[in-house]
Amino acid sequence: MEFILASGNQHKAQEFDELFDHRIIKICSASKPVDVIEDGNNYYENALKKAKAYYDVFKKPVVSDDSGVDVVALPNDLGIYSARFGGENINFNERIELLLKKMQPFVGEERRASFTCVLCFYLSPDEIYYFSGKITGLLDIQPRGDQGFGYDPVFIPDELKQKNLTYAMAPDWKKDNSHRAKACKKAQDFFSQTHCQSKKSTI
C-alpha cells in the first residue's frame, strides 16, 4: 500500500518510509505542500485535519502525523503546541532553553514527560484509521547529544536500557523504539493482516 505523507518536508517522508517494510507500506513525499490550520483540540483532530487536506488535493491515500511532548509539570504549555511553544518565530534551541528555564523549580520525578505520536491513515472519507505510540521519560537539566531534532536533546526515555541517555544520544535505539516507531509498527501490523485477508478473499 502506498501513502502520501501529509507534509511538505521530503526528508520527513524519507524518515517515515524507513520505518516500514516496503512489502506492506511505502511512504512517498507530496509533490507540493498544502497549507493546513492545525487548530484541533488533540493529536487525533490535528492528524485528521492534515490527512484530509492532503487527500482533498491529491485524491490518493494519505498518512499524517501529529506528535508532541507532554510535560506533567506544564500541562497546558506543550502537547499539541510543542512545535509552537514559545512563539512562532523562535528556533528549537530557543524552545528548549525556554522549557528548561520553566522546569528549573522541578526536580527528580517532577520532571516527568512523554512523547506521543498519532498517525492518521486516510484511505478515503469512509475509511480512516488511527494508530498511536507513546514513550515516557524525564526531562534532562541541560541538552545532551547532537542527533535527532526538536526536544530530543533533553528527553531521557525510561525504556532505554543504558540509562541517562537522551533521545539525541541514542539515534539507533530511537529509530526502533520511539513513540513514532511504535505507532508505525501498529499500523504495519494492521495493514499486513488486512492485506493478507484481502489476498485470501480473492483466491
- Active site residue ranges: 66
Phi-psi region at 46: left, alpha or beta (left = phi > 0; alpha = psi -120 to 50) = alpha
Residue 13 has a CB neighbour count (10 Å cut-off) of 20
DSSP letter assigned to residue 195? H
Whether the Cβ atoms of residue 162 and residue 172 lie closer than 8 Å to each other: no
Q: SS3 for 4? A: strand
Q: Please state, in angstroms and rounded to a whole number, the distance separating the CA atoms of residues 10 and 3.
A: 13
Q: State whether residue 14 is helix, strand or coil.
A: helix
β-strand partners of 131:
119
